[in-house]
Amino acid sequence: MSHSNSFQPVLASLEPAMFETLFESLPDGVLVVNGAGELVRLNGNAEKMFGYTRNELVGKSIETLLPERFRRGHVGKREAYSRQPHMRPMGVGLDLRARRKDGMEFPVDIMLSPVRIEDQVLVLAVVRDITYRKQAEEKLRRNEELFRSLIEGVKDYAIFMLDSQGRVMSWSPGAEVIHGYRAEEVVGQHFSVFFTPEDVRLGKPEEILRAASTRGRMESEGWRIRKDGARFWANAIVTALRDEKGQILGFSKVTRDLTDRRRAEEALLLEITNALVSNLDIRNLLGAIAASIRQMVPYDYGSLALLDPAGKLLQLQWLDRPEGAKVERAEWTLPFRDSVTEKALSRREPVVLHRMETGEFEPDTIMRWKSIGMNSGCWLPLVSHGRRLGALIVGSEREGAFSERDVTILTEVANQVAIAVDNAVAFRQIVELQERLEEEKRYLAEELRTEYNFEEIIGETPALKRVLKQVETVAPTDSTVLILGETGTGKELIARAIHQLSARRDRPFIKLNCSAIPGGLLESELFGHEKGAFTGAISQKMGRLELAHSGTFFLDEVGDLPLELQPKLLRALQEREFERVGGTRTIPVDVRLVAATNQDLQGLVNRREFRSDLYYRLKVFPITIPPLRERSEDIPLLAHYFAQKHAKQMKKSIERIPPQALHALVQYPWHGNVRELENLIERAVILTRGSELNVPLAELQSAVPASPAPVRDGRWVRNPGSEPGAPQPEGSPTLEAAEREHILRALRECRGVIGGASGAAAKLGLKRTTLNFRMRKLGISRSDL
């Protein structure tokens, strides 16, 4: 069915009034033309469009509305259309022009439709003025040509388009220059082909597209890959393109090659790094940091905020500030909680405040920054080896002073600053430790030691020297040692000396006192127990023997070990294995046993109170420590040592011990041995107010004879009656006198040799220079030897 036939029932059904309303309300110009090409009717919009009234056009040829140059040709086309009338829609690609009454031409688009009314065929023409559309199309065309010429003329920028998935859609000559690909080689490929393999593994291309989709625009810098595999430093801006509904159509991408700039920055950063790491003094480091920032980014305020060990406060030191800035002092103390530094450290990324507004931060601190004239700032976290140090703070008097590029550069500087600060702090700690160790070394070098240098084992008597010689002999072996001696003679000191001189010195020294633990718990303490082995065993416990594995196990007061435990200990020593209480698993153990007792083990064995097999297993190498009453010559030396030791602990200065006090100390029987002597001296130090030791003689009076004990060759003699004619002391030797005699004895034994491996300095455990200094101080010369 023809289009004209379809119109007839519609037109016929329309009421005349309705037709007139529709005809006049159409937004375009409507013309009705008869078969002779004469205008029959036109609507109001046609009048406005062409500038004629209806009366002026009705009955006139349709060619009246055409430019004169088209009229002749149009007659033939009109007649051809009349012979074969048909529907012709708008937008068929014809370039049609119309003419107004005033002679002005304008572009039009026309729809033609034949209409049969009664026995006559008319043509309905709908005319649309497309002047504005043509102008817009022309402007767009000119812009496109301009844009194309711009893109093709720019060789320093790679400008191209990506689809919504990141595939290349267009390619510019600049892109070919920078990336090295021709258009036919790269169009259709994903733009990840330009990224380094490590960035592709990390998902960098997808991250950039996501950021551009979210923000609308994403700028990034990094190393990119050319077609030939060479790397270049690129600055890239990716912009999202959306349709009218906001859906992503694709992306535009502009890339610049900034390799030369990057190389220059790297050279400068290397120079900065060298300057920073070479300054280990924190005060010099502050100036180096300020100079480093100044080379990279302009700024007004610079400071270093370091977190205190407790993690609660920031100690801020200024690097730079403008002249006249209202800064009351060179160092600030700021709260760490809710500070910008806390946020920067928690995120491990810079925080930029383009305006100094409180927001989520501690308001007093923000206002404090603002009060000195700082209106924008960048807080850069300082982290080294995973340890939070604080922040590098850079500020400006201008708002919005720091760009993304500034922040990127400052971040790289901050990374180097963090390493330098960490090194400087570590260096300062090392210096402080060295100073402390030197001080301790000087202190220890000045202490009196025996010729065997057994720490607190003080004495010069032959009996004690024999014991120490035995220790030196047995210590390097793994043999079991049984230390015998009265309470307070120093059995544990001897045990520790054996351990320290053995090959196990770097392994644990574990002790267990058999008399200090109830018998019911002793087995558990010795061997350990499994969970549920007995009431109260709520968890597994490792015993002392197991703890001592590969080290030394000191079993003190072994004579108090219950008989029922003795065979278990014997088996553990012989088989080198045991089971925990309540356990079935055999645990191997490798220990060196040192036992001690103040009892007569042989008597216990005879009375069947101690197993003979264990006794003989313990008595591989017995060492008997003499009681203090059998080495009374050591009492003055011990008294001076303990006086000096406790005086230093109590921060007192004690120069001498009265002669009558020393006499009483030598004559006293000391049933508690060295421990009793030390306790007495400690009480005496507490009671002393001046430089002379105030010994509580009332405690010793019953044991002190009427006459003072004499001295021979610098040593106190126990029985003055056995040495008739011996010289009597006129006074008590002071601490200096005791030290002088100690050094003289060492010099005589070394025949006056001071340095070298066999010299007196080595014998005394001192440096040669220290010994010379002490000799000068004490007035010792060659003539004294």
* Complete DSSP assignment for 89-114: -S-SS--EEEE-TTS-EEEEEEEEEE
Q: Which two tokens stand for residue 6?
A: 């379809």
With b for 16 or more beta-carbon neighbours within 10 A and e for fewer, the 529-539 pattern comes to: bbeebeeeeee
Beta carbons within 8 Å of 496's beta carbon, 6+ residues apart: 455, 509, 554
pLDDT at residue 730, as a whole number? 40
The amino acid present at 389, given as its one-letter code, is: L
Number of DSSP helices (H) and strands (E) in the chain, helices first: 28, 26
The CA-atom distances, in angstroms, between 44 and each of 56, 57, 294, 371, 648 are 13, 12, 75, 72, 119
Report residue 596 CA to chain centroid gap. 50
pLDDT at residue 727, as a whole number? 37
The CA-atom distances, in angstroms, between 98 and each of 38, 347, 461 are 16, 69, 136
What gap in Å lies between CA 464 and CA 493, rounded to an integer? 13
Ranked by mean pLDDT, which of 465-479, 720-734, 771-785 comes out on top? 465-479
Q: Is 546 helix (H, G, I), strand (E, B) or coil?
A: helix
* Contact (CB, 8 A) for 98 and 50: yes
Nearest CA among 741, 716, 740, 738 for reference residue 726: 716
The CA-atom distances, in angstroms, between 39 and each of 28, 76, 112, 446 are 16, 17, 14, 131
* Contact (CB, 8 A) for 732 and 738: no
Nearest CA among 640, 637, 628 for reference residue 459: 637
The CA-atom distances, in angstroms, between 17 and each of 14, 157, 468 are 8, 66, 137
Q: How would you class 262 by CB atoms within 10 Å of its CB: exposed for 0-12, middle for 13-18, buried for 19 or more?
A: middle
Residue 42's pLDDT band (boundaries 50, 70, 90)?
Answer: very high
Determine the length of the chain.
Answer: 785
- 223: pLDDT strictly greater than 50: yes
Among 218-232, 312-326, 520-534, 633-647, name the one with the lowest average pLDDT: 312-326
Q: Which two tokens stand for residue 455?
A: 């720490």
- 277: pLDDT strictly greater than 70: no
Among 16-25, 147-156, 218-227, 662-671, name the one with the lowest average pLDDT: 147-156
- High-pLDDT (> 90) share of the chain, %: 23
The amino acid present at 323, given as its one-letter code, is: E
pLDDT at residue 194, as a whole number? 93
Mean confidence (pLDDT) of the chain: 80
- 628: pLDDT strictly greater than 60: yes
- 406: pLDDT strictly greater than 90: no
User: Span 308-327, mean pLDDT?
Assistant: 76
pLDDT at residue 334, as a whole number? 82
Residue 219's pLDDT band (boundaries 50, 70, 90)?
Answer: confident
What gap in Å lies between CA 367 and CA 374, rounded to an integer? 10
The amino acid present at 494, given as its one-letter code, is: I
**Which is higher by pLDDT, 233 or 520?**
233
Q: How would you class 136 by CB atoms within 10 Å of its CB: exposed for 0-12, middle for 13-18, buried for 19 or more?
A: exposed
Nearest CA among 579, 584, 595 for reference residue 524: 579
- Cα dihedral sign, 748-750-756-762: negative
Residue 720's pLDDT band (boundaries 50, 70, 90)?
Answer: very low
Beta pairing class for 552-556 and 592-597? parallel
pLDDT at residue 439, as a whole number? 43
- 666: pLDDT strictly greater than 70: yes
- 262: pLDDT strictly greater than 70: yes
Enumerate the H helices of 338-490 as residue ranges: 340-347, 363-371, 404-446, 462-474
How many C-beta neighbours within 10 Å does residue 254 have? 19
pLDDT at residue 664, as a whole number? 86
Q: Is 582 helix (H, G, I), strand (E, B) or coil?
A: coil
The amino acid present at 341, given as its one-letter code, is: T
pLDDT at residue 454, as a whole number? 56
Beta carbons within 8 Å of 15's beta carbon, 6+ residues apart: none
Among 466-470, 504-508, 519-523, 725-729, name the one with the lowest average pLDDT: 725-729
Q: Residue 79 phi/psi, 5° resolution?
A: -65, -35
Q: Which two tokens stand for residue 64?
A: 């009246």
How many C-beta neighbours within 10 Å does residue 760 have? 24
**Which is higher by pLDDT, 555 or 290?**
555
Nearest CA among 639, 687, 679, 689 for reference residue 663: 639
pLDDT at residue 762, as a whole number? 78
How many C-beta neighbours within 10 Å does residue 429 have? 10
* Contact (CB, 8 A) for 555 and 512: yes
- 446: pLDDT strictly greater than 60: no
pLDDT at residue 616, as a whole number? 92
- 487: pLDDT strictly greater than 80: yes
Q: Which two tokens stand for residue 67?
A: 């430019």
- 445: pLDDT strictly greater than 50: no
pLDDT at residue 280, as a whole number? 64
* β partners of residue 225: 231
**Which is higher by pLDDT, 10 or 99?**
99
Long-range contacts of 7-16 (CB under 8 A, 24+ apart): 7/113, 7/115, 7/116, 8/115, 8/116, 11/115, 11/117
Task: Work out the angle at residue 729's Cα, subtended by the Cα atoms of residues 724 and 735, and round it to the nearest 5 degrees.
Answer: 140
pLDDT at residue 120, as a whole number? 82
* Contact (CB, 8 A) for 314 and 350: no
What gap in Å lies between CA 678 and CA 684, rounded to an integer? 10
Q: Which two tokens stand for residue 660?
A: 């009558």
- 13: pLDDT strictly greater than 70: no
pLDDT at residue 269, as a whole number? 66
Nearest CA among 229, 209, 227, 228 for reference residue 218: 209
What gap in Å lies between CA 615 and CA 570, rounded to an integer? 9
pLDDT at residue 721, as a whole number? 35
What is the longest distance spanned by two Cα atoms in the chain? 175
Residue 313's pLDDT band (boundaries 50, 70, 90)?
Answer: confident
Ranked by mean pLDDT, which of 210-214, 288-292, 306-310 comes out on top? 210-214
Question: How many CA atoms lie within 13 Å of 665's alpha carbon, on the beta-carbon side?
Answer: 32
Residue 602's pLDDT band (boundaries 50, 70, 90)?
Answer: very high
The amino acid present at 418, given as its one-letter code, is: A
What gap in Å lies between CA 759 and CA 765, rounded to an integer? 10
Per-residue pLDDT tens digits for 50-91: 999 999 999 999 999 999 999 988 888 888 888 888 888 887
- 21: pLDDT strictly greater than 50: yes
- 591: pLDDT strictly greater than 90: yes
